[in-house]
Chains A and B, each alone.
Chain A
């Protein structure tokens, strides 16, 4: 099954997590509509925008971690979690 498109379990898990996040936020957006708010970036953001910022930022955090040889990649994920919390709290 994994031969198709050269899938691997790690990449499949990666996309499943992202798909799960998107699905969760879609359901959240439908069930609990929200007002956009303006945070420290001084732009209006909804939950979805904050998710996007988090995911994009996390990609760069991981790349920086890898490029600067800062150690095992798991720690980058921890940094991403902190970043995610910060984005959802203050952006």
Chain B
């Protein structure tokens, strides 16, 4: 029989709620207020109703940025998740080399975003960068400041370099939690390597992989610093993702109203996706529990 849910424990999070109110809820409310008004600075606001939302929903600029953003997140997930699993499967299971690999893998995760951007910005330069110079020497035309495909490749490879280790570490943790008995049973049944992966390792990793996908999706969906430092959103608008476009609009053009409407829609998309992931994760957990 199902028990009734006692929600009273939620009252214990009231102090956190107060903190979050100041760091997130109140600023968000201000954004909502901005989104229905127009301002020319000087703290003077004029009622604009739903015009900014209408403008934004009909603006190619926002839809294009959203398209680029979804493509970027899709591509990096398609690369990082399988690659991370592959790395985790091939890491030493114990001993010195295991720890060595773990430390090595965490290194990129410790580097601040803008430093990662700077590293790759210099790395890819044709005149002084190792990557750019080598490619030029090999006769490959590569210039991330002029060619949009090169810019995309650079930004994606940079993200893969920066974040695949996170997926690998999570997948490794998932793998380590599988009892040896499963592998022994598989050996007795003469299961192939693929069968072991498909029926033992993958289902046991499902929980952590969902977390990895969620984290990577959210992070890549909100990405700002790295592409901003490397390409500045260019060439043209080729790598102008949602956040970059939003900052251009809000701070560059000081269009607070449209930018507020834009960011609210951005927020809603993120909220929906997080909710879907969260629901899938908790449902998976419950099924495993039964």
Chain A residues in contact with chain B, CB under 8 A?
A: 3, 5-8, 10-11, 14-15, 26, 29-30, 33-36, 43-44, 46, 48, 52, 56, 59-60, 63, 66-67, 73
Contacts and interface: CB of A to CB of B under 8 A. Distances in A.
The 3 closest A-B pairs by CB, nearest first: A67-B57, A33-B4, A6-B33
B7 A29 contact: yes
B8 A11 contact: no
Interface stretch (B42-50, B69-77, B180-188): B42-50
B239 interface: no
Interface string B246-287: 000000000000000000010010011001000100010010
A30 B39 CA distance: 43
27 contacts: A5-B29, A5-B30, A5-B33, A6-B33, A6-B45, A8-B36, A8-B37, A11-B29, A11-B32, A11-B33, A11-B36, A15-B29, A15-B32, A29-B5, A30-B7, A30-B8, A34-B5, A35-B5, A36-B2, A36-B5, A44-B286, A56-B268, A56-B272, A59-B268, A67-B54, A67-B58, A73-B50
Interface residues of B, number: 33
Interface of B: 2-8, 10, 26, 29-30, 32-34, 36-37, 39, 43, 45, 47, 50, 53-54, 57-58, 265, 268, 271-272, 275, 279, 283, 286
B37 A63 contact: no
A6 B8 CA distance: 35
A46 B2 CA distance: 12
A63 B53 contact: yes
B33 A7 contact: yes
Contacts of A60: 268, 272
Given A35-B5, A46-B5, 19 more contacts: A3-B43, A5-B29, A5-B30, A6-B30, A6-B43, A8-B45, A8-B47, A10-B36, A26-B10, A35-B4, A43-B283, A44-B283, A56-B268, A56-B271, A60-B272, A63-B265, A63-B268, A66-B50, A66-B54
